[in-house]
Structure 1
Amino acid sequence: MPRNLFSEEIAYINPRAAEYLPIPLSKYKAFVLCATPDNKLTNSAFQAAKNEQLTSYKLPITKFLNLGQTAITMPLRITANIIRDVYASDCEWKTAFEKHIPYFNILASDMYRNHDNDKDALQVIERWLSDAERRGKRKRKFFHSYSREERRAMRAEQNLSKG
């Protein structure tokens, strides 16, 4: 840890933390975002933060979304943008969530409503997750063991031997 920072001035952001990140965020000089969500491993980022005596916080998204005990893990880019907006622009949490989380309004408006429409909300979440997965997947290049000409020659030989 840098010598000019105290552990109270650093907020360790972990979606599985017990406490919400308190405001104002201006009291923090640095934010450490948890990239590995596993709290159990001895070599995890969570354990490293614990060893450095950093307090773990989570974003207060569950105040707006009722997803039970599920820890909401977001891409680091979205988490950083939300913290940046609340820190630099002094905007409300809900405004930052609405701005950076796709479909947040749909999910948040369903919180206090009759839950007969849970299937629809789950489909929205599944669509968001599948869209994120699709964007994240890269197409693998396929390399053939034989050149196109060699494959055509082998196919021609197979056709001749059959007929």
Structure 2
Amino acid sequence: MLAQINKNGSKYSVTYERHLTHPVANVWAMFTDNSKLQQWFDELHVEDLRQGGTILFDMGDGTYEEMKITELDHQAVLEFDWDKDRVRFHFMEEDNGCELTLIETINELTEHTPKDLAGWHVCLDVIEALLDGTDYGPREKSWKKWYEKYKEALE
């Protein structure tokens, strides 16, 4: 299911919602335990897990972009800067698992925006597969499909 895209004044809000049949603690660990984080987003590394702390993004050229953690509530909220934008993950315990919500606040749409949106979509699918113990398989074909859909949605 495509993320919900809303325009709020001059900004955009993109919301992904996923129900995962796993406890919040397990889902939270996918974002905060570097060994688990590397399985679905190997460019990210939690450097200092606290509000005001940092997450590093490996630029692939020997440099790292520092992203500030703007909000942290253990097993409930993880929010951090994403270049000029912001991403917020909300984890809510449910009877049979966890409701995971990702909200990206985008200040300006660019030609790269649908690529990012497709990337987050696939990342969430990969997280679910990892938690379920299944193999997601190659990401490229799925990413291309979602990229086209997000590109169309933003036009």
Per the normalisation by structure 1, the TM-score is: 0.25
Look at both structures and tell me which one has the larger radius of gyration over its CA atoms.
1
Higher-strand-fraction structure: 2
